Amino acid sequence: ITIVDAGGTVVAQLRMDGARLNALAISETKARTAASTGSPTAPGDEDLAVAAACGGRQTGLMGGLPIWLDGHLLGGIGVSSG
């Protein structure tokens, strides 16, 4: 699980015991994508092109949600299976 602020900076990360090594990297990318778009991550036609243009720092994989409070985008949270 990764939480980022509105600028994409990691503010918290937690890896479950036994989780795959890449789980944190994937959850961070999902959180950053949700924070930068203000929308949940979801597969779409342009995802591969966007991911490539962002150097792999964005994804269309499900599991990322933006964090909103009173109409202000605070950041994003991303999760990845263990």
Mean pLDDT over 51-69 rounds to 84
At 72 the pLDDT is 97
Average pLDDT over residues 24-30: 91
Q: What φ, ψ does residue 73 adopt, rounded to 5°?
A: -80, 115
In this predicted structure, what is the pLDDT of residue 57? 78
Q: Tell me the whole-structure pTM to 2 decimals.
A: 0.85
Residue 5 tokens, joined: 């602020």
User: Of 25, 30, 13, 21, which Cα lies nearest the Cα of 82?
Assistant: 21
pLDDT given for residue 78 in this prediction: 94
Q: Which two tokens stand for residue 34?
A: 């949700």
